[in-house]
Amino acid sequence: MKRSGCRTIFHICLIFVLSLLGALLMAVCLFFLTITIRKPDGKTARSDWPIRFTEEFKDQIIFAGTVWQVKQAGLAALQDNGIGAQLLDASGREVFGYQKPEQAGTVYTNAELLELYQRGQMENSATTPFMGAVSHAGKECVYILYFPVSISKVTMYLSGERFAGGRAILLPILWALLLLVLFLGVLYGLFMTKAMKRLTAAVKEISDRSYLPVQEPGLFRDLYGSLNMLDAEIRAGDRLRAQTDKMREEWIANITHDLKTPLSPIRGYAELLGEEGGKTEEQCRRYAGIMLKNAAYMEALIDDLKLTYQLENGMLCANRKEQNLIRFLKELVIDILNTPEYENRAIDFESTANAVSFSFDQRLFTRAFRNLIINSFVHGKDDTKVFLCLRASDTMLKMEVADNGRGMSPELAEHMFDRYYRGTGTEQKTEGGGLGLAIAKGIIELHGGKITAVSVPAAGTTFFIEFLRS
């Protein structure tokens, strides 16, 4: 057995033994309190002390002349212990009294003496009476000693001698109980060690990704349930990480391709301009225009990467100003349609109000809504039409950006706003870095809004945007 297993068994046995010793110590203390009484001088005595004192006190009673009396030594003993005494003749009449309680009578019948003996306690008094009898020359005397302590009947009939006599039986029982506890402790320790080994092996299997869920009944059921949940969460995290890594790799490959695509014509036309031979002014102007266009594309791509990083890490602050959102959207639509690339496209704008005041960053809103609208054009057909709708209330702004383009399946729509996703494996175009919708979502959320999307293959895509109005 390994050292850890032995240590576990030792600790469990130690706990058992300490618990047993504690219980035994408490039991001994309680039993000690039961078989002992406290004398008037504060000292502790065995419970049979009043009985023994009463039996021995008869030697202190003498018959002097015609009356019963107590020796001087007996009076001194009564005085030292605060004990009262009463001597009765054969008729029950008191012939001598010393420090007796107020409740004590002067004449007792046999029935009253029997009742006092059986009751063992003076009424309304913390005094316990004990009786004895002595005879001399055919004359009898009953004496009553009043002890200034309250003694229960249980304590009264428990003697230290009986307890001492029972040690021969009690000690073997205690030793047997101790050995039994040690044996049970060892068995329990072995059981716990085996169970802990299984748990340790289960944790190692989880770290090695080789764990199989276990339905363990009994003491460790909840613990194994937690291990099963932990394993499931780790495996789900592994799958998500693998999926993210795959998407990141695809995204990096796409970005690399997109950066190389404009670099090729820039380099090619730069080499043409550097070659010897006459170039017309028109050729040079055309070459320069192509190079500038590709350089602008690269600049926009790099700007998207920077903006994505800032949004993802909370490094972007919105410069919000109260503006007319309706006017902003109309100007944005006009600006997009004035672009030569989209001058033949159509955008329908609808609003429930002529003016809607809202606080937003105009530069960021331009980027977000431009991405949403152009995304429909880029991934749609040549005749794709965009519908822009705004509905305003006192507390809410609801916007829709819809198109009648190709749409996409629910599986692809689920990843629409992922930063590393570009619709790989679809029939959609692959222009851009796959960051447009992710940037739009980040900007809308930066303004406290919420964006969702519904896409139907061959029917189009609709973006739903909501803002709370303060």
Q: Render 405-420 in DSSP notation, one character per residue.
A: S----HHHHTTTT-TT
C-alpha dihedral sign at 417, 418, 420, 421? negative
Residues 237 and 268 in one domain: yes
In a domain, 212, yes or no: no
Q: In 104-135, which positions are buried (b, 16+ CB within 10 angstroms) versus exposed (e)? A: beeebeeeebeebeeeebbeeeebbbbebebe
Q: Which of 127, 133, 77 is nearest to 102 (CA)?
A: 127
* Tens of pLDDT, residue by residue, the chain (470 residues): 455 455 555 666 666 666 767 666 776 666 555 566 666 666 777 777 788 888 888 888 888 777 888 888 888 888 888 888 888 888 888 888 888 887 788 888 888 888 887 776 766 667 888 888 888 777 888 888 888 876 654 454 444 444 444 555 666 777 777 777 777 777 777 777 787 788 788 888 888 888 878 776 766 777 778 888 888 888 888 888 888 788 777 777 777 777 777 888 888 888 888 887 767 888 888 888 888 888 888 887 788 878 887 887 788 888 999 999 999 999 999 999 998 889 999 999 999 888 999 999 999 999 999 999 998 898 888 889 999 999 999 899 999 999 998 888 888 888 888 765 655 433 444 445 568 898 999 999 999 999 999 999 989 999 999 999 87
Q: What number of other Cβ atoms are within 10 A of residue 293's Cβ?
A: 12
The domain total for the chain is 3
In a domain, 72, yes or no: yes
Residues 287 and 428 in one domain: no
Q: For 59, which DSSP code?
A: G
| Domain's final residue, options 157, 185, 205 | 157
Residue for token pair 């002595």: 134
Residues 301 and 333 in one domain: no
Residues 71 and 114 in one domain: yes
Residues 331 and 298 in one domain: no
Q: What number of other Cβ atoms are within 10 A of residue 383's Cβ?
A: 10
Residues 322 and 304 in one domain: no
Given a contact cutoff of 8 angstroms between Cβ atoms, the answer to whether 89 and 95 are in contact is: yes
**Tokens describing residue 304:** 């998207």
Residue range(s) defining the domain that contains residue 124: 49-157
pTM value?
0.48
**Tokens describing residue 104:** 């004590």
| Domain's final residue, options 157, 183, 206 | 157
Q: Render 376-410 in DSSP notation, one character per residue.
A: HHHHS-TT-EEEEEEEE-SSEEEEEEEE-S----H
Given a contact cutoff of 8 angstroms between Cβ atoms, the answer to whether 386 and 402 are in contact is: yes
In a domain, 266, yes or no: yes
Residues 386 and 325 in one domain: yes
Residues 334 and 463 in one domain: yes
Helices (H), 82-166: 110-119, 153-157, 160-165
How far apart CA 430 and CA 251 sit, in angstroms, is 11
How far apart CA 116 and CA 134 sit, in angstroms, is 18
45, β-bridge pairs? 37
SS3 category, 453: strand
| Domain's final residue, options 142, 157, 172 | 157
What one-letter code names the amino acid at 349? F
Element (H, E) at 348: strand 346-351
Residues 297 and 391 in one domain: no
What one-letter code names the amino acid at 318? A
Q: Which residues contact 338 (CB under 8 A, 6 or more apart)?
A: none
CA angle 152, 156, 157 (to 5 degrees): 125
In a domain, 14, yes or no: no
